[in-house]
Structure 1
Amino acid sequence: MLPLSANSWFCRVALRDTGIDAASFTSIRLVSGALMLWLLLYLRRSRGRAPLPASESGNWLSAWALFGYAVLFSFAYLELTAGTGALLLFGAVQVTMIGLGLRRGERLDIVQVTGVVLAFSGLVGLLLPGLSAPPPLAGAMMLGAGICWGVYSMRGQGARDPTRVTAGNFMRTVPITAALSLFMLGQASIDTAGFAYAVASGALTSALGYVLWYSVVPLIKSVTAATVQLSVPVIVAVGGVALLGEPITLRLVLAAAAVLGGIALVILEKSRNAAGAE
């Protein structure tokens, strides 16, 4: 979970403390992620691994969802603290995936419905006006990033080779993000430190982080994998305090308890129901 959490730290510190702009950070992140994943696939092919069908190489709809997540994530972190951004992102991802699951025919019992309502209430409470409320537009953009990532995650479920699918989707974002950079060229600003953070976010914590996660998930129970992800907003918030000097407000603590507690109810109840059906 540390590489996934580090995405928030790298993005926030780059946009707060260096001269790079959000569009350039997004483009460098996606391009460096694509290059790292291409290199991993090249090394794997050189070892003689049999190729998979073209359908296992990603698709444009998923690439647009990935791009939407990345660009909204970057622009939101111009104003959000690392912990607030991570909680909004994570909550929106999970609520989106639950909603898409319902659309596919999944059903929730009363405990799971309570969990969803609790998690949604935590997100709403975090965004309500007040002294410690995040900027509305930045908050909305991070929720949008979470929705995009939730869609992207659902579309990638069941892939036989997640690394290759992820690589294909990252590579498809390159022309899209190049168009964004051209559109924002008049506001482009890049310095050495900002460039380094963007490359680290793309090549290390995104590309290698996703590969590591996909390698571990098959070795552990699905409920364990889902529950472990609950730690990400907490890790980001703690790192935001220790590494970035950001405050943790009472509003954030209460919202985190509601969001993470609600999602935990859904995950654990789903596991209990599955065990009872066996």
Structure 2
Amino acid sequence: MRLFLLICLTMLAFAGNSVLNRMAVAAGDAGPSLFAAVRLVAGAVMLLVLLSLRDGRRLRPVLAPGGATALAVYVVGFSLAYRWLDAGMGALILFGMVQVTMFAGALMRAEVVPPRRYAGAVLALAGLAVLVWPQGGSAPDLTGAALMLLAGVGWGVYSLRGRSVTDPLADTAWNFALAVPAGLLLFALLPDGMTTRGAILAIVSGAVTSGLGYALWYRVLPQIAASTAALAQLTVPVIAQAGGGLLLDEPLTARFALAAALVLGGVALGVLRRGQITMGSKGS
């Protein structure tokens, strides 16, 4: 039960990132480049402070360029994509690609993936298709979708790497610190501005829903299968869309309701067995 609650808390943090990014960028309170840079800096500062409090003054860098690169690709693509996508649509595309990436990683690592998890993935992806399939003017913008797909690959790789970490706080802190130059470079190439409200949203996104949320995710990942982690994240678009409806006045349509039912049904089919979530690292 404790692991289940930690996963739920992590998914809430992920959905919060979608909503906070959209609140800042779509409302014109922050440009995507500066938002990404501030988010990375805030996350790095928060985590390094926590790490220093835990370990005293002996901060030993964890050099993991692969993890930092994947994180940078995710954050940059994620921030830029929300110029064109709403919170729910962005999260759906993001975690659809995350699922594909992580299932591929699970197969490459010879993880045992039970048939019900494949069935759950198919059902959940059908839900994604219901929402993003072109229908009049409601199809997602191609530029935004391409950027979010790239972000999904980055996050999928980042999550796969997290399954082997031994110190989640240290790994996450140094991943953020090493990714900061990418955020600053993005801002240098595509400079934009930020209001006080935008700065607050970016700092909260970086320090809380990103920094603390990702450290928690790295703590959870070694305890669950990669395919389970991929499926669990498909609940995030539903949470993000609901948050967008409550906070951003984005419409909650019948189409979204059908998609949400399919996604949640697919996740339940893939990860629930006799009323319990399957958490084994090898699948069952």
How high is the TM-score relative to the length of structure 1? Answer: 0.83
Q: Does 1:145 align with 2:172?
A: no
The one of 88, 110, 118 equivalent to 1:113 is 118
Cα gap change, 1:106/1:247 in structure 2, threshold over 3 Å: closer, same or farther?
same
Counterpart-to-counterpart distance in 1, 2:280 and 2:68: 34
2:143 aligned partner, one-letter code: L
Post-superposition CA distance 1:111-161 (Å, at most 9, x none): 333223223333334332213222222123222212211110001112111
Counterpart-to-counterpart distance in 2, 1:197 and 1:273: 36
Q: Is the 8 A contact 1:95 1:120 kept in 2?
A: no
Post-superposition CA distance 1:36-64 (Å, at most 9, x none): 1111111111298xx88x6xx25112111
Deviation at 1:244, TM superposition (A): 1.0
Q: Is the 8 A contact 1:28 1:202 kept in 2?
A: yes
Which residue does 1:26 correspond to in 2? 36
Counterpart-to-counterpart distance in 1, 2:180 and 2:280: 42
Which residue does 1:209 correspond to in 2? 213
State the identity %: 44
Of 162-171 and 110-119, deviating more is 110-119
Post-superposition CA distance 1:220-247 (Å, at most 9, x none): x748x95765543332222111111110
RMSD value, Cα? 3.0
Q: Is the 8 A contact 1:127 1:136 kept in 2?
A: no
Q: Is the 8 A contact 1:58 1:166 kept in 2?
A: no
Cα gap change, 1:203/1:93 in structure 2, threshold over 3 Å: closer, same or farther?
same
1:123 aligned partner, one-letter code: L
Q: Does 1:41 align with 2:46?
A: no
2:244 aligned partner, one-letter code: G
Q: Does 1:263 align with 2:263?
A: no
Cα gap change, 1:214/1:105 in structure 2, threshold over 3 Å: closer, same or farther?
closer
Q: Is the 8 A contact 1:22 1:75 kept in 2?
A: yes
Of 262-271 and 199-208, deviating more is 262-271
Q: Is the 8 A contact 1:84 1:252 kept in 2?
A: no
Cα gap change, 1:242/1:184 in structure 2, threshold over 3 Å: closer, same or farther?
same
Which residue does 2:3 correspond to in 1? none
Counterpart-to-counterpart distance in 2, 1:180 and 1:243: 28
Counterpart-to-counterpart distance in 1, 2:272 and 2:87: 27
Of 73-82 and 128-137, deviating more is 128-137
Which residue does 2:26 correspond to in 1? 16
Counterpart-to-counterpart distance in 1, 2:193 and 2:279: 51
Q: Is the 8 A contact 2:21 2:202 kept in 1?
A: yes
Look up the SS of the partner of 1:189 in the other structure: coil
How high is the TM-score relative to the length of structure 2? Answer: 0.82
Which residue does 2:247 correspond to in 1? 243
Counterpart-to-counterpart distance in 2, 1:272 and 1:200: 30
Which residue does 2:163 correspond to in 1? 157
Deviation at 1:205, TM superposition (A): 1.4
Q: Is the 8 A contact 2:111 2:282 kept in 1?
A: no
Deviation at 1:28, TM superposition (A): 0.7
Question: What is the total number of aligned residue pairs between the two structures?
Answer: 267
2:96 aligned partner, one-letter code: G
Counterpart-to-counterpart distance in 1, 2:121 and 2:212: 31
Counterpart-to-counterpart distance in 2, 1:236 and 1:272: 24
Counterpart-to-counterpart distance in 2, 1:119 and 1:204: 28
Counterpart-to-counterpart distance in 2, 1:92 and 1:9: 19
Structure 2, unpaired ranges of 5+: 1-8
Which residue does 1:195 correspond to in 2? 199
Look up the SS of the partner of 2:272 in the other structure: helix
1:91 aligned partner, one-letter code: G
Deviation at 1:109, TM superposition (A): 4.2
Counterpart-to-counterpart distance in 2, 1:10 and 1:274: 32
Cα gap change, 1:41/1:199 in structure 2, threshold over 3 Å: closer, same or farther?
same
